[in-house]
Structure 1
């Protein structure tokens, strides 16, 4: 499948209208533990959904950065949450990336949100292509166009960025988001400013979703609008949107913890079926229930950076000093150390950055980011 795309201004805007869907995984992990309390029915439903979602990575059962395969029951480990928006006849890009680290001693979960336009080295885990530097969202598209290895390429790129292993991943399609919020009966959120956002069918004007400031109970469509918007005055751009996404995680977890109906649990589980994939087995997912309580105390980080239009294409240039701080924190969370921080991980590649019009594999760069209409 060719990656090159001729995009009009309208279609570029359409591509930018994305949904942060990784937050539904917090619900899923919580339900793995809580739902088991309802016995065979929900446990079997979860097992079937997980079975349908199984996908083995080309690298095998462990990260190349690990000497041995980790056991989530006893080892500290990481999970990469990947949110994608599937479209016909083109490779999928990752529109949300969050790396979560789980530490047994502290029983805490740390989450790092990675802006989709972050300028990073794209890593092909097969070492057969050199894509140079591009937006991190493109890693999934390159892999998707090469034997459906979107997750493989994304994981390799994230490992290279943070210098820590990505042990597991969960990939979710945005279509599950609205269903989950509605199945929960809505979530309570504090809307910081008035936000006007296109609806889930990309309709604006009289069909736009308008959120007034203040605490309120949001349904699925409204919650979607809250985590998408980065253009309304006072919304804070990418950084403000990232803060709202992290707040949404905690709101979903809090609401999930209060569920007492088997029917509601069942609907939430159903909303994930055929909308996600993972390399975690059902048994491994069950082992994560010990973290259910700590998910309400998530240590949330968002990579800092600056807008960069020096090449004529919008990128989010990461703050290297802060990135190094995050790397150190993740290593501490995982109790992970490398033999040499200057190992040949590809970051020092001499490959030139992508051009303003097209990067090394043919993906036409758009001007998303702070210039987006969402």
Structure 2
């Protein structure tokens, strides 16, 4: 019974996090092509937004798993998309993680969604502390508490998990999702059945979002409710929600491509201003425009695993065999071979040989209640 309750709390927001980060990544790629559509004005505007978002990682411009810095204009490369849950007086956690690889010869994009409760070895890129085994969401919290290095810790942890380099990252605030949908003027979607969903502040009752079945134009709040719902009668559970999420991504890409005015494109760009950070330069961001046309054909992977309550704290224990398959696929997609002396070696579950530790920092301590969100 306890596991069921915890699992339900965990799953309540999982679809929201996964979907938002996929949609934002799609919109970013579409924005990369906006300058080509409307020339100097939007190109300059996007350049300004990107400059506000610039943040250098403590490691510098190159992953430690690379012999040389990669150039996304000509090299196969990777981006880690992070959706961040910002709270007052608390270190921020990464509530959505999607690792994307880009291959120039095939023009393909592969995306791996990493469940926030995945049980992994947390890596401190400064090599000053061993955090042991914990949920991958905690990597950002530990780093954020250590001189605002949340992205650095998360990237190092993901590199250890997949044994491939994370070349670039994009970190986004969840509030951007609703702003993006509204800036697009809404998106047209087919609602399969009547859906009743909590709103973006997780409020129910009179504040819940109710969608009637049929094809309709959805605003930001409504679009969010459509891709979150899995419990309403006839919603199809996780499978139905997954189908709606992919349909939403395609709808956003199509709507973005058909924007008919500079003003609308400008509003979409504005919706991202100060809501994301990245180590991609403006020129590198523009290089992503070649992938925008193939977004609806993204190969999406979801790490497999099982529920683990062996320590009294809920974890998602990753399936070793499937994880190894994903690693192999990512290496092939990146045409990557480990460099001598790199720190990419890990055990089959993505952890190092260090023993498991309890989350004792106060940043990431879980209970059977709301901390598993």
Task: Report the TM-score when normalising by structure 2.
Answer: 0.87
Following superposition, the deviation at residue 114 of structure 1 comes to 0.9
Following superposition, the deviation at residue 353 of structure 1 comes to 4.5
Answer yes or no: is the 8 Å Cα contact 2:163–2:327 preserved in 1.
yes
Answer yes or no: is the 8 Å Cα contact 2:66–2:339 preserved in 1.
no
Instruction: Report whether the alignment pairs 1:350 with 2:354.
Output: yes
User: In structure 1, how many angstroms separate the alpha carbons of the residues matched to 2:193 and 2:107?
Assistant: 35
Structure 1 match to 2:366: 365
User: In structure 1, how many angstroms separate the alpha carbons of the residues matched to 2:306 and 2:76?
Assistant: 32
Instruction: Report whether the alignment pairs 1:96 with 2:96.
Output: yes
Judged with a 3 Å threshold, the aligned counterparts in structure 2 of structure 1 residues 166 and 210 are, in CA distance, closer, same or farther, namely: same
Structure 2 match to 1:68: 68
Partner SS state of residue 292, structure 1: helix
Structure 1 gap segments, 5+ residues each: 1-8
Following superposition, the deviation at residue 125 of structure 1 comes to 0.8
Instruction: Report whether the alignment pairs 1:143 with 2:151.
Output: no
Following superposition, the deviation at residue 172 of structure 1 comes to 0.5
Answer yes or no: is the 8 Å Cα contact 1:132–1:349 preserved in 2.
no
Instruction: Report whether the alignment pairs 1:324 with 2:334.
Output: no
Structure 1 match to 2:313: 313
Following superposition, the deviation at residue 153 of structure 1 comes to 0.6
User: In structure 1, how many angstroms separate the alpha carbons of the residues matched to 2:103 and 2:205?
Assistant: 46
Per-residue CA distance 1:285-307 (angstroms, 9 max, x = gap): 11111111112211111111222
Structure 2 gap segments, 5+ residues each: none
Following superposition, the deviation at residue 323 of structure 1 comes to 1.2
Following superposition, the deviation at residue 165 of structure 1 comes to 0.5
Superposed counterparts of 1:160-179, under 5 Å: 160-179=160-179
Following superposition, the deviation at residue 249 of structure 1 comes to 2.5
Following superposition, the deviation at residue 188 of structure 1 comes to 3.3
Answer yes or no: is the 8 Å Cα contact 2:171–2:277 preserved in 1.
yes
Answer yes or no: is the 8 Å Cα contact 1:35–1:265 preserved in 2.
no
Judged with a 3 Å threshold, the aligned counterparts in structure 2 of structure 1 residues 185 and 47 are, in CA distance, closer, same or farther, namely: same
Instruction: Report whether the alignment pairs 1:196 with 2:200.
Output: no
Partner SS state of residue 33, structure 2: helix
Moved more, 108-117 or 266-275: 108-117
Answer yes or no: is the 8 Å Cα contact 2:160–2:343 preserved in 1.
no
User: In structure 1, how many angstroms separate the alpha carbons of the residues matched to 2:156 and 2:344?
Assistant: 15
User: In structure 1, how many angstroms separate the alpha carbons of the residues matched to 2:76 and 2:235?
Assistant: 36
User: In structure 2, how many angstroms separate the alpha carbons of the residues matched to 1:87 and 1:58?
Assistant: 24
Partner SS state of residue 166, structure 1: coil
User: In structure 2, how many angstroms separate the alpha carbons of the residues matched to 1:364 and 1:171?
Assistant: 23
Structure 2 match to 1:5: none
User: In structure 1, how many angstroms separate the alpha carbons of the residues matched to 2:172 and 2:316?
Assistant: 24
Per-residue CA distance 1:29-81 (angstroms, 9 max, x = gap): 21211333212111111000000000000000011100100010110000011
Moved more, 217-226 or 282-291: 217-226
- Matched residues, number: 357
Moved more, 211-220 or 252-261: 211-220
User: In structure 1, how many angstroms separate the alpha carbons of the residues matched to 2:357 and 2:307?
Assistant: 16
Answer yes or no: is the 8 Å Cα contact 1:246–1:300 preserved in 2.
no
Per-residue CA distance 1:69-127 (angstroms, 9 max, x = gap): 00101100000110012111111111111011000000011111111111111111111
Superposed counterparts of 1:200-219, under 5 Å: 200-212=200-212, 215-219=215-219
Structure 2 match to 1:254: 254
Judged with a 3 Å threshold, the aligned counterparts in structure 2 of structure 1 residues 282 and 245 are, in CA distance, closer, same or farther, namely: same
Structure 1 match to 2:52: 52
Answer yes or no: is the 8 Å Cα contact 1:84–1:173 preserved in 2.
yes
Structure 2 match to 1:4: none
Following superposition, the deviation at residue 367 of structure 1 comes to 4.5
Partner SS state of residue 329, structure 1: helix
Following superposition, the deviation at residue 194 of structure 1 comes to 4.8
Going by fraction, where is helix more abundant, 1 or 2? 2
